[in-house]
Structure 1
Amino acid sequence: MNKIVVATGNEGKAKEFRELLKGLNVTILTLRDFPDVIMPEENGYTFAANALLKARAVAERTGLPALGDDSGLEVDFLKGAPGVYSARFAGEPTDDRRNNQKLLKLLEGVSWERRTARFRCALALAKPDGEEHLAEGTVEGFIAYEPKGEYGFGYDPLFYLPAYGKTYAELGETLKNDLSHRALAVQNLWPVLSKLYGEK
């Protein structure tokens, strides 16, 4: 059976990937299946650099093809911040609630039209033989004035999509998985993935 390792121990992200990749003829593993694998420091200056860093490290240490993703929020008013620092925006240890609180504080008094933002995802596939592929996905939106919704994780309760009149966290898993930045990155990488693994 074909196997691929998603380079994450984050269960929310792992669940998303299992759903997004369910059309492939492949078994999805995560870092929880390889507790001895120590990940390198994410010190890239771009999402793509960090995605490749993770995928290469996991492919090398497990001997299996690996998917690494790096994604985050870019807020125009904050000149693209938090960007690659999205997960640790409010410091270590990472905490979604504190990150959201910090973002709202920095945007206090900022008018709606200036609260434009995007979620960006870079997705890298690395194989033990050195073959690599990279794809990206981006979704434009706004930063809401307060968190709304019970689904998702990270900045999902604050990321508002005008076309739906809802935040990511209000969409529900099915709809979010159809249109998220991560879903778009998977779609853009799908020709490579389906060629390697086939579809169910």
Structure 2
Amino acid sequence: MSEDFDPEHVAPQAIRKLTPGKLVIASHNQGKVREIAELLGPHGVEPISAGALGLPEPEETGTTFIANAELKALAAADLSGLPALSDDSGLCVEALRGEPGIFSARWAGSDKDFTVAMRRVWDQILAQGPGAGHDAHFVCALALAWPDGHVEAFEGRVDGRIVWPPRGDKGFGYDPIFVPYGHDVTFAEMDPAAKHAMSHRADAFRQLVAAVF
């Protein structure tokens, strides 16, 4: 290596732009597909779900949200021959040392029953004792991949607190037990437009849109 090499001054890799056309949403979660399609609406892409194309769900073997998002996006892009966008997101509860985290969907079991998952979160908070806090945050990692293996990744976050019992029917997943800081309603009680303006997914999408469109 040259003595003049300075890793802090290496030019960053250029972000690849996404052109209008078909884009695979690499998810079988209809709530996620719906939200992502709404967020993509103004940008000239035609979202198609992985489920509609009959694409399998790859095993999520990553240890971070971004690793799992990239794995799913690359698999969908390779199998479909189209650009693919994947979301890996989850709820991280401070009192539970960040759990369920990347295992958020798995806490809902094979039936994807988030009523069970929310109950498990609450029961485990209670098991920590009366001093356990209710602070939590949602993380959303977005990965945009092309069939040639190129991938761009972005991560968003929103902080709030866990409440019980669950409230609202407008969201999905853990939305009924999550109240973002500065608000007194859960994500599942919010008008979808209000949630889209401030959610972890919206935060990640703002970064993606600024970079690739």
* 1:165 counterpart residue number: 184
Deviations 1:129-155 (A, max 9, x none): 222100000000001121111110111
Q: Secondary structure at the match of 1:49?
A: helix
How far off its partner does 1:111 sit?
A: 5.3
For residue 169 of structure 2, the aligned residue among 132, 146, 150 is 150
1:88–1:95 Cα contact (<8 Å) kept: no
Q: 2:36 aligns to what?
A: 17
CA deviations over 1:64-111 (Å, ceiling 9, x no partner): 000011000000100000001001115333211100111111122755
Aligned mates of 2:201, 2:131 — CA distance in 1: 25
Match of 1:135 among 135, 149, 154: 154
Counterparts of 1:146 and 1:125 in 2: how far apart (Å)?
36
| Structure 2 unmatched runs, 5+ | 1-19
* Equivalent residue pairs, number: 193
What is the identity, as a one-letter code, of the residue corresponding to 2:100?
Answer: P
Task: Give the TM-score normalised by the residue count of structure 2.
Answer: 0.86
**How far did 1:193 drift?**
2.9
The whole-number CA distance in structure 1 between the counterparts of 2:209 and 2:130 is 38
1:29 lines up with 2:48 in the alignment? yes
Q: Which residue of 2 aligns with 1:115?
A: 134
Q: Give 3-state SS (helix, strand or coil) of 1:40's partner.
A: coil
Corresponding position of 1:198: none
Structure number, greater radius of gyration: 2
Change (3 A) 1:131 1:45: same
Q: Which runs of 5+ in 1 are unaligned?
A: 195-200
- Matched letter for residue 138 of structure 1: R
* TM-score, length-scaled by structure 1: 0.91
- Between the aligned partners of 1:136 and 1:95, the Cα distance in structure 2 is 26
State the SS of the aligned residue for 2:109: coil
State the Cα RMSD in Å.
Answer: 1.6
Are 2:113 and 1:95 aligned?
yes
